[in-house]
Chains A and B, each alone.
Chain A
Amino acid sequence: QSVLTQPPSVSEAPRQRVTISCSGSSSNIGNNAVNWYQQLPGKAPKLLIYYDDLLPSGVSDRFSGSKSGTSASLAISGLQSEDEADYYCAAWDDSLNVVVFGGGTKLTVL
């Protein structure tokens, strides 16, 4: 059972928009930066969003992040087949003094 809760899977058609939610608590998302990672099949994870809504250099602006209270979301617009991957949210937890990850969400582009 992960400290951060994500839906196990989402799916959407090409060129559409999808959002992935990440639910936590006041000790993690509510008080700390949320980071998102993309893991393509068989590959190492890659930083996708940091500090809730910032894009690292080289990441497509089809990806965006947001946060409200103790929940965060990752949105992907203009879906492409190459976006099929597992997506993870993560944040520091002040109570546990650890980094906590969500359980991951598998995105399928129909």
Chain B
Amino acid sequence: QVTLKESGPVLVKPTETLTLTCTVSGFSLSNARMGVSWIRQPPGKALEWLAHIFSNDEKSYSTSLKSRLTISKDTSKSQVVLTMTNMDPVDTATYYCARTHSDGYNLDYWGQGTLVTVSS
């Protein structure tokens, strides 16, 4: 079955760089019609899409966060990595990764999410 699991630090300091890894199983990152997105949700707030990457290495980034985000994949390891630079307390959120279909951009399988707190 399809699963995704986020991993990374639970606590980062302001100005540090956050690196999150999404490990997938049940599908291949080389599948032409599928990719992985990152989405975050601050406590008590709405979902915010961050970025996605597809098998052909096509990438898109949130307009407001583009300068701070980098998404990449390691197909052999079935992993997608998101880095976010210059972390701030407002970046405190649960970060999710989700399988994404290239036609329609629906996110059909989600990880459980990982809460990242930014604090000194």
Is A20 on the interface with B (CB-CB < 8 A)?
no
Q: Kindly identify which residue among A33, A39, A44, A101 contacts B106, using a CB–CB cutoff of 8 Å.
A: A33
Q: Is the interface of B mostly helix, strand, loop or mixed?
A: strand
B47 touches A33 (CB 8 A): no
Chain B residues with CB under 8 Å of A90's CB are: 47, 49, 105, 107
Chain B residues, CB < 8 A from A96: 63
Q: Mark A56-70, 1 if CB is under 8 A from B, else 0.
A: 100000000000000
B107 touching A88 by the CB < 8 A rule? no
- Output the nearest chain B residue to A44 by Cβ-Cβ distance: B110
Q: Are A98 and B63 in contact (CB under 8 A)?
A: yes
Per-position binary interface string of chain B over residues 99-113, scored 1 when its CB falls under 8 Å from any chain A CB and 0 otherwise: 001011111111111
Say yes or no: is A21 at the interface (Cβ < 8 Å to chain B).
Answer: no
Size band of the B side of the interface? 20 to 34
* Minimum distance in angstroms from A13 CB to a CB of chain B: 26
B110 and A101 within 8 A (CB):
no
**Chain A residue with Cβ nearest B37:** A99
Min Cβ gap B16→A in Å is: 25
Does chain B have a CB within 8 A of A23? no
The listed residue (B39, B47, B52, B107) touching A47 by CB distance below 8 A is B107
| Interface size in chain A (residues, C-beta < 8 A) | 26
- Is residue B48 contacting chain A, with contact meaning CB distance below 8 A? yes
Q: Please give, as numbers and ranges, the residues of chain B lying within 8 Å of A40 by CB-CB distance.
A: none
Give chain A interface residues in 71-105, CB to chain B under 8 Å: 88, 90-92, 96-104
Which residues of chain A have C-beta atoms less than 8 A from B61's C-beta?
98
Q: Is the CB of A101 within 8 A of B107?
A: no
- Indicate whether B86 reaches chain A with its CB closer than 8 angstroms: no
* Contact call A97/B60, Cβ cutoff below 8 A: yes
A contact residues vs B (CB 8 Å cutoff): 2, 32-33, 35, 37, 39, 44-47, 50-51, 56, 88, 90-92, 96-104
Q: Could you jot down 13 A-B contacts, CB within 8 Å? A: A35-B107, A44-B110, A44-B111, A45-B107, A50-B101, A50-B106, A88-B47, A90-B47, A96-B63, A98-B61, A99-B52, A102-B46, A104-B46
